[in-house]
Amino acid sequence: MNILSWAFAVVQSEDADRVGSHKFITCMPKEVVVTSNFLCFYYLGREGLKKIEEASPGGAGRNRTLGFEKVGKI
């Protein structure tokens, strides 16, 4: 697993007027279920990275794709 292939971030309220790339999935968790900070922590851990790796097809390194549906299942 190549940890450098993945990037995760939690935006803050001061980021509201900023623009991100269309290449990055942007989503909000249901706060009654889990927080954004916990998801970021989980995805960057061994188990979370393994699940992201398994849900991402191909071997294109930095350009591997991951869809909303697959993220939701994790």
Place of tokens 């922590």: 41
Domain span at residue 66?
A: 25-74
Residue-level pLDDT at 42: 92
Residue-level pLDDT at 47: 94
Cα torsion for 43, 22, 62, 3, to the nearest 10°? -20
Domain total for the chain? Answer: 1
Residue-level pLDDT at 59: 60
Is there a domain that residue 61 lies in? yes
> Tens digit of pLDDT for each residue in 11-60?
888 988 988 877 777 788 888 999 988 988 998 899 998 888 888 776 65
Q: Cα angle vertex 55, ends 52, 60, to 5°?
A: 85
